[in-house]
Structure 1
Amino acid sequence: MRTLLTFLLLVGTGLLVVGAVTPQLFVLALLGLLLLTGAASVALAGLGPPGPPRLHH
């Protein structure tokens, strides 16, 4: 999982840089932002405590 997130972060950053450097490829920057946002969301969701979810009574 960590390898996949690292890969997505690297690809997203690369697309963001390419889209920022070349104005004609602005769509790649948007795709990079989408990948970075998704990877950050998955990483934050995985920060919870391990194990099954606990019900609070």
Structure 2
Amino acid sequence: MIITLSDLLAGIRERKAALGIIDTPERTDAMRNSGSRRTARKRAMLARIEERSRDAGAV
């Protein structure tokens, strides 16, 4: 079975409406990953990624 992206998004919108979920900028911000619970290991990994991308001229 092939599902198009528009069909998938329509289904998501229907389920959200049925559950009473209303997307607002405040709700979206609350659901974003703030990174406040990252481990030291993950922070170090992200710092290495940032450094390597700067060295490569990607940033």
TM-score normalised over the length of structure 2: 0.36
Query: Which protein is richer in helix relative to its size?
Result: 1
TM-score normalised over the length of structure 1: 0.37
> Which of structures 1 and 2 has the bigger CA Rg?
2
**Higher relative contact order at CA 8 Å, sep ≥6: structure 1 or structure 2?**
1
